[in-house]
Amino acid sequence: MNTHEPAGIGAAFVVDDYGGAHAMTTHLVATGYRHIAHIRGPANDFQSLERLRGYGAGLGAGRAQVIDGDFTEESGYLAGRALAASHTRPDAVFAANDTMAIGCLFALTEAGVRVPHDIALAGFDDIPLARFVSPPLTTVRVDVARWGGVHSRGWSFPSPTGRRRAFIN
């Protein structure tokens, strides 16, 4: 589930990591943000690489700033501390997952940075906790429960390679 497709695997559920990251970054740019930092996931992770690629494509002429993360709250927290201490703060941050965004939110709040007034913050995955933090997190929705329902009903779509696949955004 949610990885590149090695030859020979059967049905797969795949998140459009590139498309979701592109859509979020494009949304931030359209809202007026120009210096958008990205907290990326692990360097060797397919999801992370696709989300980074989508961020770059959606950024357009905006100013890129990529901070290493590892999909944990702690890495988001450390990124948030670094951003808060920076002399050239971004006007928005897009974290490659909600867990890092929440860690970043805690660090920014501790440093007196007001989200979204001083820095806008967005994540990816729409984990249940995202709606309970304050302020509620802007996020790319990945409906894992819907995946399970689709899988249990056996819905799938033919891919160009002949394998059966379901794409859920």
**21-79 pLDDT tens trace:** 999 999 999 999 999 999 999 999 999 999 999 999 999 887 899 999 999 999 999 99
Rounded Cα distance between 137 and 129, Å, is 9
Q: What angle do CA 79, 80, 86 make, to 5 degrees?
A: 90
Nearest residue to 93 (alpha-carbon basis) of 133, 52, 37, 53: 37
Structure-block tokens of residue 53:
């690629």
Kindly report the CATH number assigned to the domain that includes residue 93.
3.40.50.2300
Structural domains counted in the chain:
1
Rounded Cα distance between 108 and 26, Å, is 23
Collect contacts of 146-153 with beta carbons under 8 A, ≥24 apart: 147/1, 147/13, 150/13, 151/13
Structure-block tokens of residue 11:
């049905």
More confident residue, 25 or 15: 25
Rounded Cα distance between 103 and 93, Å, is 12
Residue 8 inside a domain? The answer is no
Residue 95 inside a domain? The answer is yes
Residue 167 inside a domain? The answer is no
Its domain, for residue 111, covers 17-141
The half-sphere exposure of 42 on its side-chain side, counting CA atoms within 13 A, is 7
Residue 127 inside a domain? The answer is yes
User: Is 161 a residue whose pLDDT tops 60?
Assistant: no
More confident residue, 165 or 20: 20
Q: Is residue 59 a contact partner of residue 34, using CB atoms and an 8 Å limit?
A: no
Residue 119 inside a domain? The answer is yes
Residue 165 inside a domain? The answer is no
User: Is 20 a residue whose pLDDT tops 50?
Assistant: yes
| pLDDT for res 119 | 98
| pLDDT for res 142 | 84
- Is pTM beyond 0.95 here? no
User: Is 89 a residue whose pLDDT tops 50?
Assistant: yes
Residue 21 inside a domain? The answer is yes
Residue 35 inside a domain? The answer is yes
| pLDDT for res 15 | 84
